[in-house]
Structure formats: C-alpha cells, structure tokens
Structure 1
C-alpha cells in the first residue's frame, strides 16, 4: 500500500416518481425542470470531473421511482414488458438502488416483475417476509468492491431502509404478506453486519425525511438525522419528503436531492488509509446540482440538456403512455383545478367525493353502515408546495381525456369506508384545520397556510357543512401531535342540524388515510368495513363516463368556509395559472399581490 489519499464521489437520485423525461403527462406539455434524462447529463459531467481528478464514482437511487406518472401506471401492468425505469438504471450504470414506500403501491406482484429487470442490487433492510417470501432479488444490504488508485480495493457496504408505515399505507395490498421493521434499529443492525464483513465504508440509502433530531422514536417515519448519527455510517442519501437539503454533520454527511429528478445529490469523501491498512474518511462535502433554475417570475431555465441516448431508450414507453392518455373519458362543463382549494369551493374535490359516494352506495346494503348518512372525504393532490408553482390540477372544460384523470387524482389509492361518530369527525376536521396559520384580526399580510402541512392532508368532508375560525390556535401540529384543546371548528351541521357527538356516519375516504396515513388521531381504531378492491381513479373514471349514477353529493352546498374575521385579509400562494380562473372569485374582493421569489402567485384574500 502506498498510503496515498483517494477520493470517492457518491451520486444520488431519489423520489424520481417515474419522471424519466421532462414531460408533464397530465398537462401534455414539456416540463424542463425535472426528469432523469436531464439528470443523466449531470451524472455524466460529475463522472467526467471525478475521472479527471482520479476519483472513483458510484451512483445510487434511493427509492420511490416506480410510481408517480402515467408511465409508471402502464409499466405496472402484467403485460407491460421490460420496466422503463430499470432500463434507464441499466443505461446509466447504477451501482445499487433502494426501495421507497411508493414502490409498493402497485402490489408485490408488480414489484417483482419490475425488479426482474434490475441491473444492480436492490436493497431494503427493514422489509421482512410474512406469509409470502420477499420479492425475488431484494437484499438487506450489498457489499461492493471497487478499485481505488494508490491502494487496495475499497470494500463498500450499502444498506437501504424505508418508513415502516409502508405496510400501513398499503395495507390493502400488503397485510399479512410482508412486514416492515423500525428504520433506525434495522439500519444499526446492517451497519454492524457490514462492518463485521470487513467493509471499509458504509453508505445508508435512507428513504426517510430528517426527523426531529439524532434520537428517533421507535417506528418513526422520518429518521435521517438519527441514521446519520449511527456509529459506522459514512454517508447518508435521504429522500421521501422531497426536500432539497444537505448536511455536513453532526454525524455522517447527508444529502436530499428533491423530487422528480430536480436535483442530483453529490457527496465527496476524501479517504486515507489508517494504521490497519483500511480506508477511512478524512473529510467530506455534500452538494446539490439542479437540472434547472427558476427565475423570480416563475420561468424555468434548464441548466442541463436531456441525454439523447437515454431519451431514445425510453422513447417507445414515453410514446405509448402519451397515446394511451389520449383516450376519451366523458366531459366537464366547467374547468376543474386546485388553484383555490384552500380558500374557495373546489369543484374537482366535489367531483371526486361524488364519484367515491356513487361507487359505495350500492355496497352498503346488508352492512353495518346500511342506513347511515354517507359522507365523502377528498383532498387535493396537486397544491404547489415542493412541486413548484406549476404543480396544480388544471383541467379545462370540455371533452376529457384519460390524462385528465391522472391530473384530478394522481395517487393509486383504493376506496375505503369507515364508520365514525360526530365527535370523531369534528376531531378529524380540527386536525385538517391545522393546514392554516393563525390569523390576527385586523392583519393583512399573514400567510394563509402553514408550509409544514402537506396539501394532500387537507381533507374536505362532503355531505356536512362547517366553518373554520382562523383566530383560534390549531389543535394539532404537522405530525398529528396534539397541541392543546383549542377549537377551530364552528357550526358543523348535517342537513341543517348540529352534528351530534354520538351520531354515526359512513365516510368514504382513500386507503392511505383509512390505514393511518397522515397521523389522523380521530381515525385510529375506527371501524373500517371491508370493500371489494377499487382504485379511486377507476371509480372517478366510471363516474365521468356514466358507468356510475350521478350522486347527490355532487350538487351539495360547498362543505366549508372561513368564519368571518372583519377587516382582515391573508396572503394565499397559488400557481400563476390561477390568473385564468380569477373570474370565479368575482365579488370576494380577492386581489393580486405579485409573484414571490419562487414564482408562486400571491393573492390577498379577505376573510371578512
């Protein structure tokens, strides 16, 4: 051994959600700010630079790659052929891939088919068999041996973990078949095994968000910082929460490379041999490289061209997806969008709620829910946030195509049914009302919504009416934690009568929420009735094509409104595309307040 130092460059992608190319399938238009094809150009540049420096480069993906666009939906079909994501991974020469929670959204059979095409080790350390064996090819960890200049081969251990809640969120597909252990405990076990196997370094593919610090509670969904603090971990690649962040300590360096191929994560480890002749980390840096720059007006400027060879490789699957999405699917007499979901009636949500109810009503006969009032909960799927100012549902009036279905309901959730009391419903809505910031009477410039609250958690319950008082503090925090006993709900009624605490209701909702997604305390332990498996997107398709009867909920009054706060306004952020729909807000006193630095349109919304 020469004793010469060396450098390892780790490249990371995560949460691609089947954005293999920069194209928005729902809107049928290019999206220059995302896509693995643009990342491929950054990957090639990073490899070339590392080669010039004499460094070794490894490339990893951290999960949630197989679901998210129509391309993923089609690839999951039994007769779809080779999976385009795995083809792309093979083309780019990935060294290992971890699994994310959404990779299980199509079930174990679809996952098994996809992984049959995997070109490298597929990892998930906290996945355990139930009554079924694990899908073929999934390993708890991998040991990679790679040559480094100036010394012996580097023996590198790689592990991967994902949220244990994956089994809950996909309970309708996974219950009893597989199970998921704790993130941190599983990672610690695999680190010890890899070190015992003589690995010089250990890299954790941690499909999890930052969490609350270096100490994570058992069963935590987000525990990246706790994994980075584990002894024996040298680098962490994060994901799941779609953040764009780096950490240089405490603990191992970590990187989170955004969403849909928006960023490439880069961790450089400077290595030196120790007294025992083993490589050790002498220094580290973590960085992110974006595929595009967003200007102050929201315009997107690509920083990397799409890789021509990868684009050619995925062109057949891309073309097939576009062709399939042109299939007709009814029509809408009015535009359907999510630009105003947090302060005005949302026709798209009313449509989804009605479709859910229409699919359920024939199934209630002979069940414990027969004769109960039927409510339907729906939440917006595209509300900007980390997806950017173009990430909104926007379906024009007129003939509908299958691509519009993915815009209206982008998730593969199944239809579920629970029986709740009035008290449980009010508690649920109190948690939903945490979406909003507290607004002081007389104020004019407070942001309406809390960015820590995900927009897909804003459940609207159709079939009742209620008010939300923003002068009161929220009862629940972003993780569902109870903050106090304050109440924001006012005047909750069913058919004009106050909601009785012991009154029972049948409630249609999605499988994610019914299984515990979003940490809604009011739904914990609720009575869930068995249903035939039906995706909500399929129920919506049947409703739009007339295969399901029109449901009374579609014409019900808007479910909610703000309790009036005289002489007060708040700032709502939405996409610039909202300008085409401002006429819907006529008479409400809503005015434009310019674009913010991220390209979102600011609207001043009177609350009086």
Structure 2
C-alpha cells in the first residue's frame, strides 16, 4: 500500500495569490493554489493521504491582521482552512502574536486537531490541543507527533505566554517516540522548527540556541519515519538517515509531499520505499470554488487596505534596501519618530524588515502601512547601560562584510540558512560610526548622546519593538526584566494615528550615523 503525506508550513495567512501590494494579483503562491494540488492528489491517489499543516497559520498577512484586529473573529479566516480539510495542524511561534485568548478561540473554530506536545501548562500537560494523533487506515496505524520551536519566550510578549513552559523538541520526542512506536506502524513528527546544522556535513549553520533542533531530531531520535519541518522558510526535500524530510518554504509557494510504500504481513509493517519532494504552486490555477466562496471577505480586506491614511510631501520611496541600511532613509526615520512620539523617548531603534518594503508615495493608504511594517509589533521602552547599547550596535554592525573588491555586502550570517534582514537595526537619537574594517565586535566608534560620549555605565532609555526588547534575534543584551514601560497598541495603528495627527508629512532624516571602511568613508547618513 502507499501512504502519501502532504505538508504545508508557514502559510502566514496568504490564502489568495497576492502579497497585497496591489489589488487583483495572481502571484505564484497562496493556499488556494495549494488546495488545487491537494484536491488533485486526493483524487489521484487510490490509497492513503494525510494532509498536515506545520504551523504559522494565524499571523503574517494583511488578511490575518484584518481578521484579528478589525473583525476579531478568527472563524472568518479559519473557515477557509476548514474547507481545505487538513487532517491535523501544529502550532507555530507566530500563533501567539495576537495573544493566548485569540489563539484559543482560533483553535476552537478548527475542524482538525491541533497537535503540540512540548508547550505545557502549569500542570505540566499540553497547553493546546493534543500531543499526538493516531490515524487508522484499515489495519495500518499512523502516528503524528506535533512539536514547536522552544524558543518562543525569546520573542513573544510575556502576557501572551504567561503560565506556559516550553520544552526542547528533542527532549519531548525522546519521551514520546518510543510510545508511538508501540502504538503505530508509521511515526511522523511535524515540527515547527528547522535545521541548526548542515544536513550533509553536520556543521552548525547558526548559533545553537535551541531555536531549531531538526538535525538533533534526525540524528538522535530513532524511530522517526517522516520529519515535517518549517519555521526557516527553506525549501528542502530529502531522505536523510533513512528519514524522509520536507520543508516547503512559506506562503504556499510549495507543498511538501512524502510518499511511503508499505508492506504489512502477519501484523508487522515494513516501509519498502520513501520519497520526499516539493510540488510548486507556480503553474497551478487557484481553486475557483474556494476563491468565489470567499471573494466577499477578500474584497472587504482590499477595500480596508485602500483607505487613505495620510499624505507625504516629498520622497519617501525605497529604491535600494541595502542603501537604506547603509545610509538611513526618511522612511526609517519616520518610524523612529512614531516610536519616539508614542513612548516619550529620545533614542529609538528599528529595522527595515524586508527587502520588499517600498516606502511611501505621495498618498499613503493602509495597504502601504501594512505591506511596509509587516509584523504585529508593539513597543517597549528598555532601560539599558551604555555597554548594552554598544553591544546591540556591534551586533547590528556585523550585518556588513567587506567583499573582495573592497565594497560592502551582507554578511552570510544574515542570509543563511534564513534571511534575517529584520535583525539589522538602525538607531536615532544617538550618533555613531560603524567601521567595517575593524573586527566584528569592535566596530562601533564615536558613540555619543547629546554631544557626549556614552560611557559603559550610563543609563539610557531606548524604544524598540517588543520582539527585540525580550532579546529576539539573539540580542541577549536586551531582556524582559529591562522593560520599564510598554505601549500595547499595534505599530500599524500608531503609524496611522501619527498620520492623523501630523499629515502631511515632510520627509527628513536625523543624519546621525555613518558607515566607513578603514579611513575612507563609504557612505554617510
């Protein structure tokens, strides 16, 4: 017999084939295209098909933002997932972004079970859904164990995870896999996490913080037949150490497919073959019935996105994202001003989150705001020492690498195995120089505030987003215990309020930092 496992991951609410930068797009991704592939495979396969979502379904697009913040009814969105007909789903880290209550409400509206064995409540029991699910097909039993990256407390607002504990995926799997081997013929692990080491060489590809434990699951836990992964937005399909593994990217660009040929005799099963592959949505037609059913909701979102919020008198377009990070930009300094205004601080840190950000044109709509400021961040004011601030700037300065021709490029650590443009911060309210010719960790020079050099033991109040304030991005110089006040209004709302108060906006820059190499200034801001 043949068992087919289909896996989505990191959909982030991209149902229609659009990135919402404009109306009526037909881009090569989206869950409605993936649904067409699922339907085709279900119709074609004569044996057994399991469809599993590997997490990060509840946040990440204008659709999910509108559902959470405007309608406040997750069923407006989750009904689409129900129509697709997943057999099981796993929690991702972004499921917590809108709070525990919203997450619980969303889970309650889903037709399929949510699996998560390693996020526990105060009684030491799985806090959401079940740890695993058993699926029985005639005389074949298939177990699916759900696991989620343990690193969530390093990113999430404390209020969203209070009362929860996060266990290592490896530790949890060590407990469950032997039990599942006794209960089932086939053991599948669906892990919302990725690989911390190169699958071929075993060399670390990132800091070994525990955020990703896929390699350890693969190598240390015997008894796993299939390992479904995600979180890193990578595209992986392989059979490694006799385990079939997939990671299908994000936004529904692909669906992971694992095919197992199984023979069962005298009550014992044997896997005769394993195949792992990714099926691209690129040349797939959107599922028309589903699109028509939910067009009213989609148009409602598009109309909301087209609301005019304010005006820009001047140029705030982003033409070259790398140049923005080298020299600063009026859009970045606009975000600084919003953050300073909302918190009453004079030092601000923020990032250009993605290379897809386009900045603002003369007329600014809600669409412009949410497609530039893509995360549901709130703000936190942290009190830090001068040494803390310098360490944060040093980490950001490691974004740059000198190239062979003497120019600057992005350090591979910020690109692989996952692009992390959002982890390079630019600051306002202080003056500083990044000297790329110096070793990483000692590149910051002339760091001053109000004309005076900042000393290691100086105490400073800084506004940054909540993700960074609790140490997100491995900024361990920040932590929840350094937060002295918070603004719990979403940044997109704060941006809209700022326009309401000050529109039209005249673009301007703070001109407070420079990037140099050796004694030659490359670019200044």
Match of 1:253 in 2: 244
2:347 pairs with 375, 380, 395, which one?
Answer: 375
Checking the alignment, whether the CA contact within 8 Å between 2:97 and 2:160 is kept in structure 1 is no
* Alignment-derived partner of residue 360 in structure 1: 343
Relative distance call for 1:24 and 1:534 in structure 2 (3 A) is same
TM-score by length of 1: 0.78
Q: 1:77 to 1:538 in 2, by over 3 A?
A: closer
Structure 1 counterpart of 2:62: 70
Corresponding position of 2:130? 139
How large is the RMSD of aligned CA atoms in angstroms? 2.9
Instruction: Tell me, yes or no, if structure 1 residue 422 matches structure 2 residue 422.
Output: no
Aligned to 2:7: 12
2: CA distance, partners of 1:203 / 1:313: 33
Aligned residues between the structures: 511
Pick closer, same or farther for the CA change 1:239–1:316 going to 2, 3 Å. Answer: same
1:285 to 275, 281, 291: 275
Task: Find the counterpart in structure 2 of residue 266 from structure 1.
Answer: 257
- CA gap 1:491/1:514 in 2 versus in 1, 3 angstroms: same
Measured in 2, the distance between the counterparts of 1:454 and 1:320 equals 32
- 1:542 Cα offset (Å): 1.4
User: Judging changes above 3 Å, is the alpha-carbon distance between structure 1 residues 81 and 517 closer, same or farther for their aligned structure 2 residues?
Assistant: closer
Q: TM-score if structure 2 supplies the norm length?
A: 0.90
1:205 shift after superposition = 0.8
1:419·1:526 contact (CA, 8 Å) conserved in 2?
Answer: no
Residues of 2 paired with 1:130 and 1:12: CA distance?
31
Does structure 1 conserve the Cα–Cα contact (< 8 Å) formed by 2:437 and 2:517?
Answer: no
1:462 equivalent in structure 2: 428
For the structure 1 residues 175 and 540, does the alpha-carbon distance in structure 2 shift closer, same or farther, using more than 3 Å as the test?
Answer: same
Kindly provide the CA deviation profile for residues 375-410 of structure 1, in whole angstroms up to 9, marking residues without a partner as x: 111011222xxxxxxxx1114422211112212311
Task: Decide which of 536, 541, 544 is 2:499's aligned counterpart.
Answer: 544
Per-residue CA deviations over 1:58-77 (Å, capped at 9, x if unaligned) read 11110001111121012224
Report matched runs for 1:94-493 at 5 Å: 94-130=86-122, 138-147=129-138, 152=139, 154-196=140-182, 198-212=183-197, 220-229=210-219, 230-273=221-264, 277-292=267-282, 303-333=283-313, 334-337=315-318, 339=321, 340-361=323-344, 374-383=346-355, 392-439=356-403, 443-444=405-406, 447-450=409-412, 451-452=415-416, 454-475=420-441, 487-493=442-448
| Between 412-421 and 78-87, the greater mean CA deviation after superposition | 78-87
Q: Any conservation in 1 of the 2:382–2:469 contact (CA below 8 Å)?
A: yes
1:561 aligns with 2:503: no
Q: CA shift at 1:538, angstroms?
A: 2.1
In structure 2, the gaps of 5 or more residues are none
Aligned equivalents of 2:125 and 2:170: distance in 1?
23
**Deviation at residue 556 of structure 1 after TM alignment:** 5.5
> Quick one: distance in 1 between partners of 2:137 and 2:110?
20
- Offset at 1:282? 2.4
- The 1:348–1:315 alpha-carbon spacing in structure 2 relative to 1, beyond 3 Å, is same
1:496/1:567 CA distance change after superposition, 3 Å: closer
DSSP 3-state at the match of 1:87: helix
Maintained 8 Å contact 2:369/2:492: yes
- CA distance in 2 between counterparts of 1:132 and 1:313 reads 42
Contact residue 266 and residue 288 of structure 1 kept, 8 A? yes
Any stretches of 5+ residues in structure 1 without a counterpart?
1-5, 293-302, 362-372, 384-391, 476-486, 570-587, 589-606
SS in 2 for 1:319: helix
User: Residue 514 of structure 1: CA displacement?
Assistant: 0.9
